[in-house]
Amino acid sequence: MISSKKEYLFNAFFLLITGLSAFLIIVLLLGIFVVLFSESLPAIKKFGFVKFITTPTWDPVREIFGGAIPLFGTLVTSFLALIIAVPIALGIAIFISEVAPRSVKEPIGTAIELLAAIPSIIYGMWGLFTLAPLQAKYVEPFLQSTLGKLPYIGKLFSGVPLGIDLLTASLILSIMIIPFTASIARDAFQLVPAVLKESAYGLGATKWEVIKDVMIPYCKLGILGGIGLSLGRALGETMAVAFVLGNLNQFPSSLFSPTTTVTVKLANEFTEAEKDIHLASLFYLALLLFIMSFTILAIAKYLIQRTRNR
């Protein structure tokens, strides 16, 4: 009887601790939102929502602040990084889960996951001192001399190839998010029931047909969820992008143009903001980034959970 009572008390205490721990996460998220909202309230009252996200001017002297350029730069660099990273990550996931022999799967999988452990400032330094000079000397002049001569598309490769631009920042981001997309896609492929693949092979399907017509349609929600998580990672990246993006408050006219993002502007100006409205505008940018990232990550987690439930 005493033992049973002790066990009941222990279980109740355990449930209380775990419940409080889970509830603490919600409290932290709400706390972050409340702080960002309260600190950005002066900018919200002065500029509103539509005016703030559509105004390109960022002038601390005249106290005119608009987030159009950093928000646009954040979205463009992130989506360009996805365009580069997703095909490579899916290829890695397919190779590890379906093509590679058992002796090769573990080393490659470990190496891919180790990429996620490298600090972002290391990526930024590597991009500034290694990738940017290579881009300026070889890659970008080559792109200008080939794709730059095509109609319409050629405008994307105009400008002076300096290596500190939108394209280099997107390449750095793509390298950083490949491990996340590849790992989640690999896990999603491993959730495909073996009976489905065996049935397809029994009907005479090739390995490519099984991957294309069975595996990818079955776990497409999980793959989309992984892409969403990678997008959330790219939206919030700071140091790696700050090194190679140029930090100019201007809309990029091509892939070789410098621009800025929300995180870069926050990192460069937060400690230098002297006026209250300047600081409030920076908090406003942070609030918008928080909302974007939270929404994208929530949708991604929902899609991944649906795949697991299946």
CATH of the domain at 276: 1.10.3720.10
pLDDT classification of 2: cutoffs 50, 70, 90: low
pLDDT digits (tens, 9 = 90+) for 131-166: 999 999 999 999 998 888 888 888 889 888 888 999
Q: How confident is the model at residue 42 (pLDDT cuts 50, 70, 90)?
A: very high
Give the residue, 165 or 228, on which the prediction is more confident.
Answer: 165
- Least confidently predicted of 85-89, 103-107, 135-139, 208-212: 103-107
- For the residues of 13-71, what is the DSSP string, one character each? HHHHHHHHHHHHHHHHHHHHHHHHHHHHHHHHHHH-SHHHHH---EETTTTEE--HHHH
For Cα atoms 236, 239, 244, give the angle at the middle one, nearest 5 degrees: 110
The pLDDT of residue 228 is: 82
User: Which whole number is the average pLDDT over 238-257?
Assistant: 88
Mean pLDDT, rounded, of the chain = 87
Reply yes or no on whether the pLDDT at 38 is more than 90: yes
The percent of the chain in helix, strand and coil, each rounded to the nearest 5, is 80, 0, 20
pLDDT above 80: residue 45 = yes
Mean pLDDT of 242-246: 88
In the predicted model, what is the mean pLDDT of residues 13-18? 86
d(CA 270, CA 265) in angstroms, rounded, equals 8
pLDDT of residue 86: 92
Average pLDDT over residues 278-299: 90
Taking residues 52-79, what's their average pLDDT? 90
Instruction: Kindly state the average pLDDT of the residues 120-127.
Output: 89
In the predicted model, is pLDDT for residue 268 greater than 90? no
Q: State how many domains the chain has.
A: 1
What is this structure's pTM? 0.86
Query: Would residue 163 be called left, alpha or beta, if left means φ above 0 and alpha means ψ between -120 and 50 degrees?
Result: left
Structure letter (DSSP) for residue 281: H
Distance CA 51, CA 96 (A): 48
Cα(66)–Cα(59) distance, integer angstroms = 9
Which tens digit of pLDDT belongs to each residue from 189-207? 888 888 888 888 888 888 8
| pLDDT for 174 beyond 80 | yes
Q: Which structural domain range is residue 198 located in?
A: 2-309
Going by pLDDT thresholds of 50, 70 and 90, the confidence category of residue 3 is low
For residue range 107-117, list pLDDT tens digits in order. 887 888 788 78
Rounded Cα–Cα distance for residues 62 and 304 (Å): 47
Share of residues in the chain with pLDDT > 90 (%): 32
Local confidence band at 310 (pLDDT 50, 70, 90 cut-offs)? low
Share of the chain above pLDDT 70, in %: 98
Task: Decide if pLDDT at 172 tops 90.
Answer: yes
Q: What is the pLDDT of residue 35?
A: 93
